[in-house]
Amino acid sequence: MRMSDLVAQYIIQMLDEQNGSAEIQRNELAGNLGCVPSQINYVITSRFTPEQGYMVESRRGGGGYIRISRVKTDRGTAIMHIINSVGSSLDKATAEIMLRNMLGRKMLELSSAKIIATALSDRTLSKVEQDKRDAVRADLFKNMLLTLQ
């Protein structure tokens, strides 16, 4: 498992244990997980966004912290936020992260997530020109999510 996956998993576990809100010290978390603090920043900015259902607050300085909270939204609103966040291009790794987040928030059944992941895979899209693949993936993902509403 990659370090970014471990960091994200650790933060999600904290959120689960603390009723959807966790306060972390970046340097302390990096020390506990054996990574550099910038890795923590990367994970937070890429996986804990408003589009993915999180609110992040930070305070710098000696007593600084990063507070991550799950935003409570209904399924339809959350799906529309995801659709709007996709834009005109979606790479495979980001699609997988979004699907994982949707599974974690129980917005998707595992079987549906597997079908969507297969449809968005590079293998499925192998006949699409490389420079157009992420645009096709974005359109497919958005249209599949629209059917879930």
CATH placement of domain 3-70: 3.30.56.130
**Which whole number is the average pLDDT over 102-125?**
93
List the beta bridge partners of residue 65. 59
- In this predicted structure, the answer to whether residue 47 has a pLDDT above a threshold of 90 is no
Pick the CATH number of 75-148 from 1.10.1200, 1.10.10, 2.40.50, 1.10.287: 1.10.1200
Q: Phi/psi of residue 2, each to 5°?
A: -75, 155
**Residue with tokens 């302390």, as numbered in its chain:** 28
3-state secondary structure string across 28-58: HHHHHHCCCHHHHHHHHHHHCCHHHCEEEEE
Rounded to two decimals, the pTM is 0.62
- In sequence order, what are the residues at sequence separation of 6 or more whose Cβ sits closer than 8 angstroms to the Cβ of residue 146? 83
Confidence of residue 123 (pLDDT cuts 50, 70, 90): very high
Considering only CA atoms, which of 87, 83, 142 is closest in space to residue 116? 142
For residue 65, the surrounding DSSP H or E stretch is strand 65-70
Q: Can you give the pLDDT at residue 135?
A: 97
State the Cα angle at 127 between 123 and 130, rounded to 5°.
Answer: 85
Q: Which residue has the higher pLDDT, 68 or 72?
A: 68
* Domain boundaries along the sequence of the chain: 3-70, 75-148
Q: Phi/psi of residue 110, each to 5°?
A: -60, -40
Q: Which residue has the higher pLDDT, 10 or 61?
A: 10
Q: Can you give the pLDDT at residue 60?
A: 77
